Structure formats: C-alpha cells, structure tokens
C-alpha cells in the first residue's frame, strides 16, 4: 500500500524552493552582519528538510497500519444504500417537477397571448447560449490548466 | 486489478469493485488527513466520513481525475465543514501564542514545524500538503480544492512565507 502511495508521488523537484524563490532576493541584515540571503537559504533548506521529515514520520506510522478489511467497506456501502436511493428519488422528482413547471409556464404564457415575449426569450437564449458555454466553469478550468 | 477497470465496474453498480477501490485508497486518505490535522483520531473520523460521502456521490465521479484525487477533494470539503462546526475549539487549539514555539536549537525544528503548520489556516495547510507531500500541480490542486490557480499560488507562497518567518525566528532568535 505504501509503495502505491509512494508511486503516486511524482518526481520531487524541490517545490519549496520553487515557491519561495522570491525570499532569496533580499539584502543584508545590518544588525547581525550575516547576509540575509544566506539565512533565508538556510531556513529554506531547513524548512524543506523539516517538512520532509514530518511527512516521512507520518508515512512510517501509516506503513505499520493496515487498511480495514473489505467487509468493513461492504458494510459502509450497505449502510449508505438507503440514503442513496432516497436522494436519487428526490432528484428525479425535483427534475420532473421543474420540467413540468417550465413547460406549463411556457404553455400558459402562449395561451395568455404572450407569444412574442416567449419567442424573444428563446431567440435570446439561442443567441447567447454559445457565449455562456464558452465562459462556463469547465472551459475556464481548461484554460487555467494550460497556463 | 487496474484502477480504471475498478472505477468502471463501481460506476456500473458493482459493490465489490467499490469496496476494493475504497480499501486501496484508505491509507492514502488517512495519511493526507493526518498530515493536515496532526490529529490521528480526527483523521480517522474524516477518512471514514470521506468514504461514506464517496459512496453516496459516486455517480458524480466523472473519471477525469484519479480516484484518490477525488477522495481528497471530498475530504477537503469535509474538513472545511468540520472546521466551521468546531471553530471555537479550533481557535483555542491552533492559535497558540507565539511564545509557545521553541526558540532555540535546530533540534526543536521538528516540533516547531508541526506547530508552525498548525498555525497556518486550514486552507493553506491543505494547499501546502498537496503540493509538498503529494507533489500535485497547481492545476490539480485548484481542481481538488475548487479554487482558482492564482489562489493556489498565493496560498502556497503565503504559507511558505509564514513558515519561513516562524522557523527563522526559531533558528535565529
């Protein structure tokens, strides 16, 4: 299990140094006479070391532990089943209610003589839908990961 | 058995496959929470609750990330909720006075790093743990924690800055 976990760790390329590079661009500490840059570097490597040690310590503790048996997880699944069914039923019902309400509203509006506003509404939606999709969360996420 | 195959089977409703997936990722999730909370009992509770939430929300797993990343994402949300609930207790435990930190030798660094980590906000701790211990990319962390990439960068920078300051104080009093 720990091997799997270790394997999940991609190549380590001193992330600490990457994110803290700005700290190294400092001047000289007049009081102590010791260059701040050297102090910052020393602290940085100590910080990376300490974090690594802390991580290794926890991993070592975890290596001694075992994941619960499959029956434990089966039991969790069985316990969660009724809730999943209930949630599914509520979701399906909500969807049906929403869909029917929407259709009823459109039908009622047309019946009441609001054909033109309904047509305008759908035309606007038809025109702007591509733009909405273009700036949807997924699209922004993709763009973000490309940066 | 390959994870992709297990996920496919679990999504198709096969309970055995889901149980295996959860078991395979249990220790990794527990490790993440232990690193973030430094409280083994809380970590165990959060891991179990994460597993339950994963079972309930399996239909929402789109398979565009690793199962472990998805679990961590669920767990991180859960931890945020948990912190909101126990904010008052958390305040007492985490925001220890600065003088409580070790102030001299490098030997105390290990204890100091634990305390310094606990002084960070939960959001910064989670970001730092994902980057440092699991080496996720900024984009992956952003996806897991559901925050913009810029926020990941700033949180990471801020966390490192805070840690560096505290440890520098300890090492060079």
With tokens 């701040």, the residue in question is A36
Range with lowest mean pLDDT among A69-83, A86-100, A115-129, B97-111: B97-111
Instruction: Sort out which chain B residues have CB atoms less than 8 A from A11's CB and list them.
Output: 135
What is the token pair recorded at B17?
A: 């496959």
Name the maximum alpha-carbon separation found in chain B.
60
Could you tell me if B23 and A67 are in contact, meaning their C-beta atoms sit under 8 angstroms apart? Answer: yes
CA–CA dist B154, A46 (Å, integer): 22
B27·A2 Cβ contact <8 A: yes
Region A125-136: mean pLDDT is 84
Could you tell me if B102 and B170 are in contact, meaning their C-beta atoms sit under 8 angstroms apart? Answer: yes
Average model confidence (pLDDT) for chain A? 74
A28 phi, psi to nearest 5 deg: -110, 135
B135·A1 Cβ contact <8 A: no
CA–CA dist A25, A80 (Å, integer): 54
Q: CB within 8 A of B58, min separation 6: which ones?
A: B10, B11, B18
Which residue in chain B is spatially nearest to A22 when comparing CA positions?
A: B157
ipTM over 0.90: no
Q: What 3-state DSSP class applies to A113?
A: coil
How close, in Å, is residue B149 to chain A by CA atoms? 7
Range with lowest mean pLDDT among A43-52, A69-78, A103-112, A115-124: A43-52
Query: Is B157 near chain A, with CB under 8 Å?
Result: yes
DSSP for A63-116? HT--PPPHHHHHHHHHHHHHHHHHHHHHHHHHHHHHHHHHHHHHHHHHHTT-HH
Region B70-82: mean pLDDT is 93
Q: Which of B24, B68, B113 lies closest to A54 in CB terms?
A: B113
Predicted model pTM: 0.70
Could you tell me if B50 and B74 are in contact, meaning their C-beta atoms sit under 8 angstroms apart? Answer: yes
A10·B68 Cβ contact <8 A: no
Could you tell me if B33 and B42 are in contact, meaning their C-beta atoms sit under 8 angstroms apart? Answer: yes
CA–CA dist B33, A77 (Å, integer): 22
Region A128-145: mean pLDDT is 66
Confidence at residue A2, expressed as pLDDT on a 0 to 100 scale: 42
B139·A145 Cβ contact <8 A: yes
A43·B164 Cβ contact <8 A: yes
A76·B56 Cβ contact <8 A: no
Q: What 3-state DSSP class applies to B32?
A: helix
């Amino acid at each position: 299990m720990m091997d799997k976990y270790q394997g999940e760790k991609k190549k380590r390329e001193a992330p600490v140094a990457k994110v803290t590079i700005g700290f190294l661009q400092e001047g000289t500490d007049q009081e102590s006479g010791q260059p701040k840059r050297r102090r910052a570097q020393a602290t940085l490597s100590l910080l990376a070391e300490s974090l690594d040690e802390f991580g290794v310590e926890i991993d070592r503790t975890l290596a001694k532990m075992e994941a619960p048996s499959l029956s434990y997880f089966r039991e969790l699944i069985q316990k969660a089943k009724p809730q999943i069914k209930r949630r599914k039923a509520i979701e399906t019902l909500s969807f049906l209610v929403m869909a029917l309400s929407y259709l009823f509203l459109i039908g009622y509006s047309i019946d009441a003589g609001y054909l033109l506003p309904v047509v305008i509404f759908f035309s606007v939606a038809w025109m702007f839908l591509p733009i909405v999709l273009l700036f949807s969360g997924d699209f922004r996420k993709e763009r973000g990961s490309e940066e | 058995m390959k994870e992709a195959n297990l996920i496919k089977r679990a999504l198709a409703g096969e309970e055995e496959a889901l149980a295996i997936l959860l078991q395979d990722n249990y220790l990794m999730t527990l490790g993440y929470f232990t690193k973030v909370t430094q409280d083994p009992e809380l970590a165990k509770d959060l891991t179990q609750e994460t597993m339950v939430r994963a079972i309930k929300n399996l239909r929402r797993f789109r398979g565009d990330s690793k199962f472990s990343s998805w679990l961590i994402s669920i767990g991180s949300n859960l931890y945020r909720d948990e912190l909101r609930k126990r904010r008052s207790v958390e305040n007492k435990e985490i925001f220890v006075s600065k003088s409580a930190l070790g102030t001299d030798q490098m030997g105390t660094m290990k204890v100091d790093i634990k305390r310094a980590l606990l002084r960070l906000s939960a959001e910064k701790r989670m970001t730092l743990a994902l980057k440092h211990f699991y080496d996720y990319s900024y984009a992956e962390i952003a996806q897991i924690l559901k925050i913009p990439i810029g926020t990941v960068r700033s949180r990471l920078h801020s966390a490192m800055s805070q840690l560096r300051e505290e440890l520098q104080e300890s090492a060079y009093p």
